[in-house]
């Protein structure tokens, strides 16, 4: 199933420049228990951030099994979900983050191909 990701990026041409600046990235990774999938997502995220956002990111891992209340705030359904709180706008990336290119596109670190 193809995902129409294009439209959201087309509308903000200036945004790309902004993200190239040294603005901090505030990231949240929602997981539900220490499942292999969650671990994989966290490893993938860590790797991508180290490579592309070194020194200007924070990752908060939220385990919904411990804090189920928090699922409502960010409207989390899928696990794992990565939420980019900052810079705005909020972006959500679901899955194990295995496709690095797509994650970078989702985080606005790569212009759309």
Partner 1 sequence: MSKELSKTRTGVSGLDEITGGGLPQGRPTLICGGPGSGKTLFGMEFLVRGARDFGENGVFMSFEERDTDLVQNFASLGFEIDGLIAAEKLAIDYVHIERSEILETGEFDLEGLFVRLGFAIDSVGAKRVVLDTIEALFSGIPNEGILRAELRRLFRWLKEKGVTTVITGEQGSGSLTRHGIEEYVSDCVILLDHRMIEQVATRRLRIVKYRGTSHGTNEYPFLIDEDGFSVLPITSLGLTHKADNERVPTGISRLDTMLGGKGYFRGSSILVTGTAGTGKSSLAAHLAKSTCERGERCLYLAFEESESQIIRNMKSIGIDLQPYVEKELLLFHNVRPTVFGLEMHLVIMSKLVEKFSPSVVVIDPISNLISIGNQGEVKSILTRFVDSMKLKGITAFFTCLISGSKDVDETEVGVSSLMDTWISVQTIETNGERNRVLYVIKSRGMAHSNQVREFILSSKGVQLTDVYVGPAGVLTGSARIAQESRDRQAEREYRERIDGKKREFETRKLAAEAQIAQIRSAAGTGKGTGKFYRRGRRKKAVAERTADRSGSPEAC
Which residues are near partner 1 by CB under 8 A? Answer: 1, 3, 5, 7-8, 30, 32, 37, 41, 44, 64-65, 68-69, 71-72, 75-81, 90-99, 102-103, 105-106
- 57 vs 103, which CB is nearer to partner 1? 103
Question: What is the Cα–Cα distance from 24 to 31, expressed in whole angstroms?
Answer: 22
Q: How far is the CB of 91 from partner 1 (least distance, A)?
A: 6
- 22 vs 50, which CB is nearer to partner 1? 50
Residue 86 three-state SS? strand
- 55 vs 88, which CB is nearer to partner 1? 88
Residue 61 near residue 31 (C-beta atoms within 8 A): yes
The tokens of 1 are what?
């199933």
Question: What is the Cα–Cα distance from 31 to 43, expressed in whole angstroms?
Answer: 13
């Amino acid at each position: 199933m193809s995902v129409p990701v294009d439209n959201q990026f087309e509308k903000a041409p200036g945004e790309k420049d902004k993200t190239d600046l040294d603005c901090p990235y505030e990231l949240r990774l929602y997981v539900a228990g220490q499942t292999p999938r969650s671990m994989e997502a966290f490893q993938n995220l860590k790797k991508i951030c180290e490579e592309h956002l070194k020194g200007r990111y924070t990752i908060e891992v939220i385990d919904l099994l411990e804090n189920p209340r928090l699922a409502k705030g960010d409207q989390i359904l899928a696990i794992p979900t990565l939420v980019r709180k900052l810079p705005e706008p909020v972006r959500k990336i679901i899955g194990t983050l295995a496709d690095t290119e797509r994650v970078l596109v989702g985080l606005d670190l790569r212009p759309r191909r």
